[in-house]
Structure 1
């Protein structure tokens, strides 16, 4: 009686090689400007719950199509209620959002990426208010960042360039030497208008909806290399 031959071993799937041909990966940037919601922090469910509750209270019913991510709340509310009701709507929505921190979490790779960038070369630029920004960063456990630009600090929010121009000015760098990391089309539009390079992060929106110099499935695909004159990005294998 002869032994049966060993079953063939299934080949191991090759590890995906990163695309190193993208010219953004060879550039040195003086600063990196991060969006918050959908980029560093997963707050989608909390955002949607708060907006849905506000819409129900406002009597919008099924006509409400949901929040437009990446756009300041006031700008969107102004399209939904009469002008004399916008301030009241902002106050109520803010109350709902500040109270809802359930399942807010830091996104994969965000903590490591932030921690690898020197303090004077990083900032958070968000369409949220300062109070809401701090609540969500704390709930998610995001490392403390000294330079945070919120909606109260600019004359116009995304998709206008003012938020990123303000962040570059506070860091003392040329916007053209800044890299913006964003998950929303409005934020990427604002970054381009400010003259910044861009990385789009999939999640809130599909890759096809993100117009950026480089699009990645998550921040865990990126690594920072620190140099005397700035930082460089590397794209890691999947």
Structure 2
């Protein structure tokens, strides 16, 4: 795929500014954005947990143990954790059917529609879900298919291996070191960091349990220009390193000791 030309970031694009809707903004300079899907663009957590609970019960497994190993991992890898080889093919087909059945009413995450409306730079989705499942969830949520889609079917090694993100950057024609990755899971954040992305941005409260250096509440506090993804200060759950919020928090913690 041929991507549009990428111009270097101007100083104005990278500076802290006032948002058009008011409040401070902080930029994360980049030339492309690579999104995880589940928990970032679509709110599929409950649907997925219901499907995996039914699956676990079908195979006489502890649902809590199964759910602990699901997030950010490909279905076949979860199946391999719990079942012997002779049972895996049937079990994988069953969980795929259960998840697709549950995807019919998957809603978008807050801010996803707005952010993906006329994106000003190349973008991709990199997900552990199967191609069929991610199509079903995006369709139910009313979100567009990306210019590049990398699913669990497309790579030899899933997250936390960096393969998916590296392949997405290659197909977009953008160096991975110029890409921003948006993730919510520990495995996904590790994959983005291992890939060497410019930024790995945590999305949602679950991302506070990851090694993402910056975490925002959801996508509603973000907007992008042709050279950066910009975050409104009030959307930050874990402040950008070096920002006034982060410095202030560090000072308060120091004074309390």
Structure-1 separation of matches of 2:85 and 2:157: 17
Aligned to 1:45: 46
> Which segment drifts farther, 182-191 or 212-221?
212-221
> Which moved further from structure 2: 29-38 or 59-68?
59-68
Give how far 1:65 is off: 4.3
CA RMSD of aligned residues (A): 2.0
The aligned runs of 1:1-238 (5 Å cut-off) are 18=24, 20=26, 25=27, 27-61=28-62, 64-66=65-67, 68-118=70-120, 121-196=122-197, 197-203=199-205, 205=206, 207=208, 209-226=209-226, 230-237=227-234
Instruction: Tell me the TM-score normalized by structure 1.
Output: 0.82
Does the Cα contact within 8 Å between 1:181 and 1:199 map onto a contact in 2?
A: yes
Higher helix share: 2
Partner SS state of residue 100, structure 1: helix
Flag the structure with larger Rg: 1
Q: Secondary structure at the match of 1:101?
A: helix
Q: Shift in Å at residue 106 of structure 1?
A: 0.3
How many pairs align?
Answer: 212
Contact 1:223 1:236 in 2 (8 A): no
**Following TM superposition, where does structure 1 have runs of at least 4 consecutive aligned residues deviating by more than 3 angstroms?**
16-20, 61-65
Partner SS, residue 73 of structure 2: coil
Aligned to 2:13: none
* 1:206 shift after superposition: 5.1
Q: Is the 8 A contact 2:100 2:133 kept in 1?
A: yes
Q: Which runs of 5+ in 1 are unaligned?
A: 1-15
TM-score (norm 2): 0.76
Secondary structure at the aligned position of 1:115 is classed as coil
